Structure 1
Amino acid sequence: MDIYVEPIEEEQLKPLFTDPKQLGFGSIFTDRMFTMKYSKDKGWHDAKIEKYKPFSLDPAACVLHYSQEIFEGLKAYLSEDGKVLMFRPEQNARRMNRSAKRLCMPEIPEEYFLQGMKELVLMERRWIPDAPGTSLYIRPTLLGVEPFLGVNPSAEYLFYIILSPVGPYFKAGFNPVSIYVEDKLVRAVVGGVGDVKTGGNYAASLMAGLKAQEKGFSQVLWLDAKEQRYIEEVGAMNIFFVYQDKLVTPPLTGSILPGITRASIIEMARDLGYQVEESPITIDEAIEGITEGRIKEVFGSGTAAVISPVGSLYYKDKNYVVNNNEVGQITRTLYNGLVDIQYGRAEDKYGWVHVLGRK
């Protein structure tokens, strides 16, 4: 794929952040973005790395009325010896294409996805922070942009990638978070698009998320839409329960996002000798297990937070504390093992890390 690179004068570049502790998550954006268009007659065309700027959409654009939109999230890391690393980007390309198929959008050739993203990250490598716990967040997005009013798939699409230097997703960093269990509102149903990374899923979660924040909780734990008994996922993460040396996580039945971090944890945990089960768990079973001490640890997993220990579940006006609100040993072991691979501090025997170059 030929990529046109728009020149940017030195004086047009944004100043870099000065204090990594003030990065936050997803509020600062780099100088450039990648864009590529699709139409039925031309296929994928006009690949560019250009200046980060607003783009113009017709008021009748499909995405604005019928939400034909998907996205991905992954990160680039800086190793201690200055290498620019990415973690399993081909899995994001494949998951995005699964999402595209479900929403009747054109699939993006994996080699185009990876080439555009890697070239953009390398051009913007000055933005990759090197402080502990920081990284460069990558957001590929696909929009249906054909202007029409009618419930049909768009015939025109815009694919773009933007970059954001980030700190920890949760302000608490790698410390236990409190989770609010939502037992009235629902996020997704089997047969819907709960297993697709599309903006509508997140819009559906906003009301419960605000309610949880108002009550002082970090995230929402969703139950199944049919019976509101079975645990599904946390707002921005998949979830794991630790019984002694056994990890249990809800199965991918069609309403849960198939997390790339989730899959990585399952593989790593089994290699470390832990038993891992993908099986249904009800909220009552989880509460009983926490109360009786059989569930020793709970943690969430996702690109943004990597692994986030859960210190308590709040369900039906009662708080259930996990492991004395402390980080468990298995949670810490898996977090350290995964992060060390992502930052190039440990051997990558899985072949997960892509080395792009040097900063």
Structure 2
Amino acid sequence: MEKSSISIQLTSSKKPKPQSDELAFGRVFTDHMFVMDYSVEENWHSPRIVPYQAIAMEPAAMVYHYGQTVFEGLKAYLTKEGKVLLFRPEKNMERLNKSNDRLCIPRVDEEFVLEALKQLITVDKEWIPEKEGTSLYIRPFIISTESYLGVAPSKTYKLIIILSPVGSYYKEGIAPVKIAVESEFVRAVAGGTGTAKTAGNYASSLKAQEVAEASGFSQVLWLDGLEKKYIEEVGSMNIFFKINGEIITPALNGSILEGVTRNSVLQLLKHWGLPVTERKISVEEIAEAHKEGKLEEAFGTGTAAVISPVGELIWKNESLVINNGETGPISKKLYSTITSIQRGDQSDEFGWTTEVSTVEKEKVN
């Protein structure tokens, strides 16, 4: 499909835009969305930008019953000059197809979907908030739509992209968070769907998250699903630890989602000449490092929060306070560097940003 094949139907009734300082995460959506359909006969077809609206599907649509769905998450940022930038969007398109493969969903043309995403942002560019720490969150997702109750891959799908102006993902912002090590529930196992960005992974995490929040924790630290010994992820983020000068993150093992921010952090740390290792790391090793005074810093990485410092871990009712509960220097430097690149405040020597369009500053909230 060509760029020109995307039809555009503009809304006749624009919604009021929230003020930048009132934004939460994922509560408000822009005026338009992108939609594209799939059928066995026509492949991916009928790409269009239409007014944001409800999706009409039959109760027997397979996504409701078997969860055959995938999604992505990325952001658009507004620079001081009014340019709209995306951060490594090609990595999200690449990961979308990896998720598609795992869930038996037909692959998409990555370049075309990225172009459609850019066109949608251009149509709704007045929704991009200007205040520092805010952005336009982008949610591409695919759902199975065939009306059939047999357990098999669907023969029809919809790809949809919606946009949401957002503030900080965590109310604590860049301040350190309190994390509970989860020893009962598991997020994923090797051979499962942990490496795919699919709804079921997040649904299965809700119980542990609910329990953790009720006890005053921001997130849970997931252990492996077999031995419940090795660290995998923290909440919906990848996790890093600095132990005795070395920065360690769990190696990708078939159950850990490969984060775009994780990849960016690894590149930055190596670029700065810091010792960084991808390997298995147990919660016992973390506890021992804390006991010996060698656990210097910990932080999560993800699109929504970018960098989320961990100030305290609770494991077996034992409190492991990290860096006196304060944000560490590596977390600060990573957050500052990545967000500065994303917003165009710092030179992008890695070629990570993609310009979408320019926004007239007086039109931005």
Report TM bin, short chain: over 0.9
**Cα distance, 1:60 vs. partner?**
0.7
Name the SS of the counterpart of 1:188 in structure 2: coil
CA apart distance, 1:249: 0.1
What does residue 159 of structure 1 align with?
Answer: 159
Structure 1 residue matching 2:277: 3-state secondary structure: strand
> TM-score, length-normalised on structure 1?
0.98
The equivalent of 2:6 in structure 1 is 3
Note the C-alpha offset of 1:75: 0.2
Q: Which residue of 2 aligns with 1:343?
A: 343
* One-letter code aligned to 1:270: K
| Cα shift at 1:290 | 2.0
What secondary structure sits across from 2:205 in the alignment? helix
Deviation larger for 66-75 or 333-342: 333-342
**Pairs within 5 Å for 1:172-321:** 172-321=172-321
The answer to whether residue 124 in structure 2 is matched with residue 121 in structure 1 is: no
Matched to 1:48, the amino acid is R
Matched, 1:15 2:13: no
State how far apart, in whole Å, the 1-side matches of 2:24 and 2:342 are: 20
The aligned counterpart of 2:363 is: none
Flag structure 2 segments of 5+ consecutive residues without an equivalent.
360-365
Deviation string 1:14-41 (CA, Å, 9 cap, x unpaired) is: 01112x2321100000000000000010
Alignment of 1:77-156 (within 5 A): 77-156=77-156
Distance 2:42 2:266 in 1: 41
Residue-pair matches, total: 356
Take 2:268 and 2:145, find their aligned partners in 1: how far apart are those partners? Answer: 40
Q: Which amino acid aligns with 1:5?
A: I
Which stretch of the first structure deviates more once superposed, 316-325 or 25-34? 316-325
CA RMSD of aligned residues (A): 0.8
Identity of aligned residues (%): 49
- Shift, 1:106, TM fit: 0.4
Whether the 8 Å CA contact 2:186–2:223 is kept in 1: the answer is: yes
**TM-score normalised by structure 2 residue count:** 0.96
Which amino acid in structure 2 is aligned with residue 282 of structure 1? Answer: S
Task: Report the alpha carbon displacement of residue 8 of structure 1 after superposing the two structures with TM.
Answer: 2.0
Tell me the CA shift for residue 58 of structure 1: 1.1
Q: How far did 1:317 drift? A: 1.3
Q: Please report how far the alpha carbon of residue 236 of structure 1 lies from its aligned counterpart in structure 2 after TM superposition.
A: 1.3
1:164 Cα deviation from its structure 2 partner: 0.4
Which AA in structure 2 matches 1:54? A
**C-alpha deviation, 1:132, in angstroms:** 1.1
Amino acid at match of 2:341: I
Which structure 1 residue ranges, 5 or more long, are not aligned? Answer: none
Distance 2:135 2:290 in 1: 34
